[in-house]
Amino acid sequence: MGCGAELNDPGVNPSILPDAAVRDAAIDASPPVDARPCMGGIAAKQEPGGACFVLFPGPKVRAEAELDCVALGGHLATVKTAASNAIVALLVIATPTAFLGGNDLTTENAFVWPDGTAVSYTNWRAGEPNNSNGGGFEEDCMVIQGLLGGVWDDRPCAPPPVGTGSYAYVCSY
Ligand SMILES: [Ca+2]
Ligand SMILES: [Ca+2]
């Protein structure tokens, strides 16, 4: 099977792929990582000289969202500075809740980014992270709340409870 046939596989979600012309150009040119334009999702923003942040509306559970980010060559978003968070906050300004990459799946209350580095800069909403505050379920995945100015909350990575754990998501690469 040729490359084109794979890209046209109906099993591939077209929403995570750039348009065909850009895709073909990218394959032909194989630009270095730093030269890639920000693309994908429904909106994207780039830090000056830095990472691309790409918003997908989902909603998807964390594990499936991460797969889409990996398909872009990245991960769920890493946000290590206030300047980066301000850019992501603008990206999600109309999105109530979107997954970032931070999580404490391995060790409760020890949040790490997808590359395993500890979360140092934080922008938690007051009282968060609370791991559901005794609600009988774990909250191990970081979200950013666009309608609240880009503060963070810890939420379930997937249901249950019903109605949680499936959100929009931001990738970075
Ligand atoms: Ca937790
Ligand atoms: Ca929480």
The residue that leads in pLDDT, 96 or 35, is 96
Write down the pLDDT at residue 4: 41
Tokens 């046939």 label which residue? 5
Instruction: Please give all residues whose CB falls under 5 A of ion ligand 2, grouped by chain where several chains appear.
Output: 128, 130, 139, 153-154
The residue that leads in pLDDT, 19 or 165, is 165
Residues in the chain: 173
CATH class of 42-172: alpha beta
> Are the C-beta atoms of residues 154 and 131 closer than 8 Å to each other?
yes
Cα–Cα distance measured from residue 63 to residue 18, given in angstroms and rounded to the nearest whole number: 22
Q: How far is the CA of 36 from the centre of ligand 2 (A)?
A: 35
Ordered by start, the domain boundaries in the chain are 1-30, 42-172
Structure confidence at residue 36 as a pLDDT band (50, 70, 90)? low
Alpha helices in 8-140 (DSSP H): 20-29, 62-71, 82-91
Q: What angle do CA 114, 30, 65 make, to 5 degrees?
A: 30
Range of weakest confidence among 6-10, 27-31, 141-145: 6-10
Instruction: Specify the pTM.
Output: 0.79
Over residues 7-30, mean pLDDT: 50
Residue type at position 21 = A
pLDDT, one tens digit per residue, over 61-85 is 999 999 999 999 999 999 999 999 9
Alpha helices in the chain (DSSP H): 3-7, 20-29, 62-71, 82-91
Q: How far is the CA of 30 from the centre of ligand 1 (A)?
A: 40
Over residues 15-31, mean pLDDT: 51
